[in-house]
Amino acid sequence: MGEDLVQQIEQAWVQPQPDWARRRLLVVRLIAQHELTVAQIMRAADVCRQTVFTYRDTLLAGGVAALLQREHGGGTPSVVRGAVREELLQQLEQGKFRRAKDALAWVKKRTRRQLSEGGMRKLLHRLGGKLKVPRKSHAKKDPAKAKAFKAELPQRLEELAGTAARAGQPVRLWVLDEHRYGLLPVIRRVWARRGVRVHAPYATRYQWGYLHEAMEVDGENSMETLFTPCIDRDVHALFLQQIAQRDPQALHIIIQDQAGFHLPVDDARLPANVRLLPLPPYSPELNPVERLGDLVKDEVCNRLYPSLRRLEDRIIAALRPWRTDARRVAALIGEGWLLNSVNSGAPT
């Protein structure tokens, strides 16, 4: 989208426009800003995915004049609008509806209007809804603490790294976690013909090992791993030492959960150039390394391994793309709140 089109959008945006034109301009204006994803634009403008691309293509083909040319007088006003729409969005955010029928009953109760089930599904999709399997959340989790951690992270990073950064010392931020692996097979879904039962090999063998993983949030997007037969604070100290020795001149800040085998922030075994930043209890969704465990399980699933060594060799091969390609680590970290906190907090 060239500068001329962007100027046309901005000129039209500051002029009085009817609601339908304002919405079209909002969509293309957000596209031109290159800051939001398509899903976020859908949510901000309350349009479906196809409409986003239709408005973009119309603009590119005929400019703002074509975009603001309306060929019909508008349809019937939506049943779900205003305060009801906002409340429906809140319900959707919290995963309150297991089926479209549940949302249908909710809307009927508040508006005394009846929608079709198909219409309700379209509305849910339009609002950004999608059928998902809920992630387990511990009953002891405090959502307020998780929210506060995200809000306070830039300041806490500044407190931990500010002095070092101002003195010219490199600062590297990591996220750390551990995963248990073993000879008890991991079973995953597979594609198969309808009506045909498929089988995966299985044997009950209780032999375990532990994979320690750390990913650098920004900068080089490095990865460190360590295989150990057991896990305790001495082993955790060994892994922290491995991270510290990767760059002895740098200050390493490590975000990790509060597992009992993790070192506390004042432990004497903590390397001198390492600082720990504990996550709130029962909040694994705040740690991007959690995703790596699922990716590894996908690579080793539905197979029997004759020994832990053979399984470890397979895990090492599965991790090689992330160990050798920083872009994969960056993609796993994502571009959400964590990276934003790094960029607005202490320099790295």
DSSP 157-193: HHHHHHHHHHTT--EEEEEEEEEEEESSPP-------
Mean pLDDT of 242-259: 96
Angle at 50 between CA 31 and CA 126, to 5 degrees: 95
Summarised one tens digit per residue, pLDDT across range 224-236 is: 999 999 999 999 9
pLDDT band of residue 192 (cuts 50, 70, 90) is confident
| Angstrom distance (rounded) from CA 151 to CA 84 | 29
pLDDT by residue (tens digit) across 146-189?
999 999 999 999 999 888 888 889 999 999 999 999 999 999 88
User: In which region does residue 261 sit, left (phi positive, over 0), alpha (psi from -120 to 50) or beta (all else)?
Assistant: alpha
For residues 39 and 129, what is the distance between their CA atoms, to the nearest angstrom? Answer: 10
CB 318 within 8 A of CB 300: yes
The per-residue pLDDT for range 67-118, each reduced to its tens digit, is 998 776 555 667 788 888 899 988 988 888 988 899 999 999 988 888 888 8
Q: How far apart are CA 334 and CA 327, in angstroms?
A: 10
Residue 132 has pLDDT above 70, yes or no: yes
> What's the maximum distance between 2 C-alpha atoms anywhere in the chain?
73
